[in-house]
Structure 1
Amino acid sequence: MSANNPLPLRVAIIGAGQVADKVHASFYSARKEVELVAVCDSNQQQAQAFAERYAVEHVFTDAQTLLRECRPDVVSVCSPNRFHHEHVMQALAAGCHVMCEKPPAMTPQEADEMRKASRQAGRVLAYDFHHRFALDCQLLRQRVAAGELGEVYVTNARALRRCGVPGWGVFTNKALQGGGPLIDIGIHMLDAALFVLGFPQVRRVTAHAYQKLGTRKNSGQFGYWDPAAYTVEDAVFATLEFAHGGILRLETSFALNIIPQSVMNVEFCGDKAGATLFPAHIYEDVDGDLVTLLQREKADDKRHQRSMEAFLEAVQGKPAPIADAEQGYLIQQLVAAIYQAAETGKCVEL
């Protein structure tokens, strides 16, 4: 094929669950510059069904075998959290660019190894923190950087569900998942908040975690689970103190007795103006009257697509603002600090 028509990038997916299906495979299958050539899952039947849905030629139950026999250019890692480190390291060692689902890993040490390996291999490693790719996030980042809110000294990030324990996958299994709502949904609003703020340095972390409802109930809006096998937290409440003096308060839950069914949003309080993330809204008061400086009617719903597009552009050598390995390592450090502070009841200095 000529230089004007390069061969498509060969893509493999490790992990054939819901996010691999609804996000990664659906994106790749619609792109002409890539070819989805292989899928791997420990469940042979699930991998085969996935392959049939997307006309994928090669099916594997072992990631190393896939990498050796298919030699893909790009790998999406959608396996359970416990295996992110193993699969990302294997893919990087095989010379692949990698898009990994969140969280990066189970520990900061693993995320650090992944960060260093991507740098050494000279390959792109991105994490699917897709909420930061909403246009709302991009707009607020620009306005905060321009000083429109002034000094943002209080940020409230919420990822809350009233009765939203996932009834599928391994979301209630701490050994495979690493945690509960903090790892699953809280980490998204944490990343989005830090992105808008420009990733200020965190000085210390305090937190509380609770397991009150998941072991007492067995069903909710997302199906059924085994309360006897529920080993993750129901809710986490954390405060991050920044070196510049501001704070970020994070609240996240699978099950919490609140009025709304769910909340996924961030509020920023500055000394000039305040803002809400979804949809993007900036406001201030003038002599007691509320003045709107920016208000989107509807939040951007193409976040996953924009995240995947940025990754593919980075792979092709184009400048793209991906959620990179450095930021993934930072987020993993903060998650670990939150869990440590909740477990010990002590402030964690960073």
Structure 2
Amino acid sequence: MDRALRVLIAGTGFAGQGHAEAFRGAGAEIVGIVGRTPEVVRDVAQNMGIPYAGTDWQEALTVCKPDIVSIATPGGAHYEPIKQAIAHGCHVFCDKPMTSSGETAAELHALAQAKGVKTAYAASFRYTGSVLHAKQLVAKGAIGEPTEVECISHFNLEREIPFGWSHRKADGGGRLNNNFTHTLSIACSVVGEKILSIIGEVRDDLGRAPIVEGVHNFATRRNFIPKDLDDPALKWGESDVEWSYTVLARLDSPFADKPVSVLFKHGGLVPRFHEDHIVFYGTKGAIYIKGHYGSGQLYLADKTGTWQEMPLPQDIADTVPQVKGETEQCWHYLAREFVRDISGEPVAPYPTFREGSQYQQIIDLIRKNDNWTDVAHLA
């Protein structure tokens, strides 16, 4: 194209501001931002030098005439803005979760295909340097045929974090929507994108959270934890989502004759004893990455079990955006690929609404919690 692509942002919090910076880093022009609260969206627009600020999404689409919309609100608020944007012929960049249900996600995927617009789904931690390195190593046969993957994380989140979208299924809350989406994307990116089968169990071990006014930014929600949780005037909201999960999957891999087994284990409210990690096992070795999203140091083991710390190859390091924060780096990476694709440049496959729809339908299946076999009667 002979001009910068025009981007309209939905959401004024950490993700909205992060998406805006990511698209600017990719050479796009941020033409507007929309939020719920007039004074908040006005302040964010002013601070970021964004020319249009508003609270009416449909009006913003008409006034700003964007090429791309970036959806950075909680998942429960994605459906209508995305549907309207597709109707306007906009390409859509959407943070996870795609929507609050598999049904609505599948509908939006179909609408985007019918309209012929491009989509990007920001289950984007597949773009950390170490995950990109692991993908390269597996493709080169460094661990032989991949056989197993384990993704283990314990967040020890404060139970007193104020009640909000993360506690409500209808708003896109829950650990499957906001943790599993990333680790599933990482596993698929490294060993194979085709998901063959899934089984899982979820648990809500939170129950309730205090209701506090004034929380506008997810990144600063801890600052609003009440000092006196025994205050009789304090109101409480009831959680209806999972805070822990265990999921097993089987992935088809172009690098293995047999399906690869994957374990996803996450405890949102429990402490970790050692580091969170992601491990890829194979017939000739293994890859261990520190960190719940694989953003830490990578280690490679040979078939004798001897581990070696591996430096990040320069060709991969050169592709990682030089911005602060692993979340921001991954947004920048995906936004860059999306802009290049829309501009007609060749790019590697990236997550789209196909993956977003599929992941959302898988989450619905896991949440049914009906995978148990009763063995109490066995002698």
TM norm structure 2 = 0.78
| 1:57 has 2:51 as partner | yes
**Which stretch of the first structure deviates more once superposed, 319-328 or 290-299?**
290-299
Aligned with 2:279: secondary structure? Answer: strand
Compute the displacement of 1:221 (Å): 9.5
Q: Whole-Å Cα distance in 1 between the matches of residues 192 and 207 of structure 2? A: 35
| 1:282 has 2:276 as partner | no
Provide the residue aligned with 1:8 in structure 2: 4
Aligned with 1:11: secondary structure? Answer: strand
Query: In the alignment, is the contact (CA less than 8 A) between 1:129 and 1:307 conserved in 2?
Result: no
Residue identity over aligned pairs, in percent, reads: 21
Provide the residue aligned with 1:258 in structure 2: 272
Provide the residue aligned with 2:245 in structure 1: 236
Of 29, 34, 40, the match for 2:28:
34
Cα distance, 1:221–1:38 mapped onto 2, change above 3 Å = closer
Compute the displacement of 1:122 (Å): 2.1
Instruction: Give ranges in structure 2 of 5+ residues lacking alignment.
Output: 213-219, 227-234, 253-257, 321-325, 374-379
Instruction: Give ranges in structure 1 of 5+ residues lacking alignment.
Output: none
Provide the residue aligned with 2:231 in structure 1: none
Query: In the alignment, is the contact (CA less than 8 A) between 1:163 and 1:221 conserved in 2?
Result: no
Query: In the alignment, is the contact (CA less than 8 A) between 1:127 and 1:324 conserved in 2?
Result: yes
| 1:329 has 2:357 as partner | yes
Q: Superposed, which structure 2 residues align to 1:1-350 within 5 Å? A: 6-21=2-17, 23-30=18-25, 33-164=27-158, 167=162, 170-177=165-172, 179-203=173-197, 205-213=198-206, 215=208, 222-223=222-223, 224=225, 228-242=237-251, 244-259=258-273, 263=276, 265-277=277-289, 278=294, 279-286=297-304, 290-292=306-308, 294-296=310-312, 301=326, 302-321=329-348, 322-340=350-368, 342=369, 344-346=370-372
Q: Whole-Å Cα distance in 2 between the matches of residues 29 and 60 of structure 1? A: 20
Q: State the one-letter code of the partner of 2:106.
A: D
Q: Whole-Å Cα distance in 1 between the matches of residues 34 and 211 of structure 2? A: 31
Compute the displacement of 1:335 (Å): 1.9
Q: State the one-letter code of the partner of 2:341.
A: A
Compute the displacement of 1:26 (Å): 2.0
Q: Which has the higher contact order (CA 8 A, sep 6+)?
A: 2
**Which stretch of the first structure deviates more once superposed, 316-325 or 226-235?**
226-235
Aligned with 2:89: secondary structure? Answer: coil
Q: Could you report, residue by residue, the CA deviation over 1:249-281 in whole angstroms, capped at 9, with x for unpaired residues?
A: 111232114335x73x31111111111233332
Q: Whole-Å Cα distance in 1 between the matches of residues 153 and 340 of structure 2? A: 29
Q: Whole-Å Cα distance in 2 between the matches of residues 46 and 335 of structure 1? A: 33
Q: Whole-Å Cα distance in 2 between the matches of residues 212 and 153 of structure 1? A: 32
Q: Could you report, residue by residue, the CA deviation over 1:216-259 in whole angstroms, capped at 9, with x for unpaired residues?
A: 89999945387533332221111113463432111123211433
TM norm structure 1 = 0.84
**Which stretch of the first structure deviates more once superposed, 270-279 or 296-305?**
296-305
Aligned with 1:123: secondary structure? Answer: coil
Compute the displacement of 1:329 (Å): 2.3
Query: In the alignment, is the contact (CA less than 8 A) between 1:235 and 1:252 conserved in 2?
Result: yes
Q: State the one-letter code of the partner of 2:270.
A: L
Deviating runs (4+, > 6 A) in structure 1? 216-221, 297-300
Aligned residue-pair number: 333
Query: In the alignment, is the contact (CA less than 8 A) between 1:285 and 1:291 conserved in 2?
Result: no
Aligned with 2:113: secondary structure? Answer: helix
